[in-house]
Every structure is written in C-alpha cells, then in structure tokens.
Amino acid sequence: MLRQLKILEFTLSSLLRRKYKNLSLITVYAFTIATLGSVLFLTHALKMEATGSLTTAPELVVQRVAAGRHDLIPTAYTEVISKLPGVASVTPRVWGYYYDSLIKANLTLVGISSYQGDLELLEGRLPDNAEECAIGRGVAIAFGPAIGDDLVLEDSGKSRTVFKITGIFRAESNLLTNDLVVLQEAALRDFFSMDQKLATDLVVQVHNQREIKTLAKKIKYNLPDTRPITRDEILHTYDTLFNWRSGMMLAVAVAALISFCILAWDKATGISAEEKQEIGVLKAIGWETSDVLAVKFWEGTVISLTSFVLGILAAWIHVFAFGAPALVPLLKGWSVLFPEFQLTPAVDFYQVFVLGFLTIVPYLACTVIPSWKTAVTEPEYVMRG
C-alpha cells in the first residue's frame, strides 16, 4: 500500500508539471461526460415525474375510434360498460384542445359536470357557472390575467366568449395543469358545439385492479369501435417516448464521445518526447516495467475520475439546479406552454455505472497500452529518441 501511495504521489507531481495540457484534456473529457449525463439524468427524472403524476390517472379510459382516429364517443356506451361484472363506475369526460393564435399555443380545455369545491393546488376556486373558468399557471403567464380578470377565447363559431377567472392552479401542479382551462361542462359543450349525447371519452373505475385487462377485452368485444386504454399502457407509452427521444439525443452525444476517444487515443499514442524521456529515465534508475505502468495507470485514473466527477456534477447542476435549458425543449414535446417545474433529483445508478464504464475504461486503455510499448523498450534507445 505504501508503495502504491508513493507511486500515486509521483504521478500527481508528474501531472502538475504538465498542468495546462492536462487541464485542457480534463475540460474536454468532463464536457463530454456532462453532455451524456445530462441526457440520462433528464430522461430518468422526467420518467419519474410522469410516473408519479400518472398514479392518480384513471385506471381505464375508453375512447371511440373512427377511421383509425380518436372520435367522440356516445354517452349511451356508459350503460353497456356499467353492466359488465367488476365495473364500479363509468363517467363521461368532456375535454378538447384549443389553439390560440394570440400566444400561438395549444390549450387543454376540460369540462366539469358540477361545482366540485376547492382544490388544494388551486388559488381561488373552480367555476360554478357557465361564465367562469379556472386556468393553469402557464395560461396565466401567457395571457397575463389574475383572479377576477377575464379570459377571452374564440369558440367554434368564431365568436369571442368571455370567461371570468375564478382560480389559478399553483406552480406545484404545473406538470398537469400548466396549459389547462377548466370550464363547466355545459359551457364547454357550447364552446365546442358538442352534442349532449357525445363525450370525449369514458373513465372506468373497477373494483379489482387485477381485472383491468380482462375488462378492457370485454369492452372491446361488446363495443368493437372502442379503444380501451389502461393506466399501465399510458405509463408504457411515456416510457417508450422518453426512451426514443433520449436515444436520438444520445446518438448525437455518442458521436462526441467517439470523437473524444479518438482524441484520447491520438494523445496517448503520440507520447511526447518529454514523456518518453521520463519513462526512459525511470527505467534507467531501476524502475520496473510494472512500476511505469502503475504510474500511467494512476495518471489515467486521476484524469478520468476527475473528469467523470466534474462531468457528473455539471450534469446534475445543469438538470436539477437550472432545469436543463439546453435539453428540455427536445424532450418535453411539441407544446408551446412548457410546464415549468422543479425536477426531483432522481438518478439511475446503473446508468451512471454504464456511463463511467464506457468513458473511463477506454481512456485507461488509451493511456496504458502505448506507455507499455515505450516501457518495454531499452532505456538508452528511448532517451536517444
């Protein structure tokens, strides 16, 4: 142990003699790891946020499909579904998307059937008549109103409809409510010119969680034009979506990693005359080849571990302290009103281990192998160049 500590001490002094060269290498190395780490951290954190938010999502949602696309579903389907064994309740939902040309963003309009009291995450209250609405924080920021002000929307008949704002959702609920506008169901039906016998979809609550898939099959059998969607399928869709988007970004980042590996190999194979002379002197004064390789191993370890720690720390700060401004637009989706929320630090240590293995081990190989070729050469020949 004392021998290795002395070798490590010599390695550190050797690195300090070439501090500017090593600092530039560490900077490039750390930046590459920070880029890859940011993608991994952000993807995993968004998955955790989506999973946590969808735990309260409906157990089973039934949509109607026409010509392969989502269509309005007859409310009469609730009677057919409610008669199936295991169904606790069936509730029609009325909601839709609205594009506002003023802020150039899509809003999500949701209708509630009756006054449902105050919510914990709502400043103010929910609407209790057709002339009121509650909005998400992103809508409030985009339009600039406050509670008591008016929100003007253009309905399907190109007529402007004025709603009084009775509540604004707090920032803690931004992931779910950022682009949300809550109206009374009757008001939303009038706004979209939706027939009373139609709904956007149906929410099905079941008695036994283990029967959800069975009920979905029964609903599909009894109503062939429907598409039952379970909560697990929604979670799987989010997981697949984030994996696909992060995979595209990682493909670009891996190109940077390969470029760095080429740089590291070029640096290692092109050992400078000073480094060769240093190895020759060490061999001449009695150092064994194993000792020289130990020095180079510790040198590569110090540089790679320092770069890895700095890169991971930079990725952590970029994602969890600043909200990953360079990556968020690519991973969150197409919406203009991106929800602003503080990501909960969530790290997959398996991903960190794999990232470390793919970045540290190649660099160590690029450092030790060329040094071994020089170390096994006669010292006199090495010092003469």
Residue 202 pairs in a beta bridge with 62, 92
What is the token pair recorded at 241? 């979506």
What is the token pair recorded at 83? 């008669």
Residue identified by tokens 């190649």 is 362
- Please return the burial class of 233, using the count of CB atoms within 10 Å of its CB with bins 0-12, 13-18 and 19+: middle
Q: Are 363 and 304 in contact (CB under 8 A)?
A: yes
3-state helix/strand/coil string of 245-285: HHHHHHHHHHHHHHHHHHHHHHHHHCCCHHHHHHHHHHHHC
In order, the DSSP letters of 300-329 are: HHHHHHHHHHHHHHHHHIIIIIT--TTTHH
What is the token pair recorded at 71? 């269509």
Residue pLDDT tens, the chain, 385 long: 676 677 777 777 777 777 887 888 888 889 888 888 888 888 787 777 777 667 767 889 999 998 888 899 999 999 999 999 989 999 999 999 998 877 778 889 999 875 454 456 678 888 988 899 999 888 888 888 888 899 988 876 678 889 999 999 876 556 677 888 999 999 999 999 999 999 999 999 998 888 899 999 999 999 999 999 988 888 777 767 666 656 666 666 666 667 666 666 665 555 556 666 666 666 666 667 677 777 778 888 888 899 999 999 999 998 888 877 777 666 655 455 555 556 677 778 888 888 888 788 877 877 777 666 655 555 555 455 5
Compute the chain's Rg from CA coordinates. Answer: 31
Q: Are 55 and 329 in contact (CB under 8 A)?
A: no
Q: Are 195 and 188 in contact (CB under 8 A)?
A: no
Amino acid at 146: A
Burial 29-40 (b: 16+ CB within 10 A, else e): bbbbbbbbbbbb
Query: For residues 232 and 237, what is the distance between their CA atoms, to the nearest angstrom?
Result: 9
pLDDT tens digit sequence for 167-195: 998 765 566 778 889 999 999 999 999 99
Q: Are 64 and 225 in contact (CB under 8 A)?
A: yes
| Coil, strand or helix at 103 | coil
Residue 198 pairs in a beta bridge with 74
Q: Parse the chain into domains and list their residue ranges.
A: 2-53+237-384, 73-199
DSSP state of 210: G
In order, the DSSP letters of 16-70 are: HHTHHHHHHHHHHHHHHHHHHHHHHHHHHHHHHHHHHHGGGS-SEEEEEEETTEE
Distances (CA, A) of 165 to 133, 183, 245: 5, 10, 36
pTM over 0.85: no
Pairing relation of β-strands 226-230 and 60-66?
antiparallel
pLDDT tens digit sequence for 114-123: 545 445 667 8
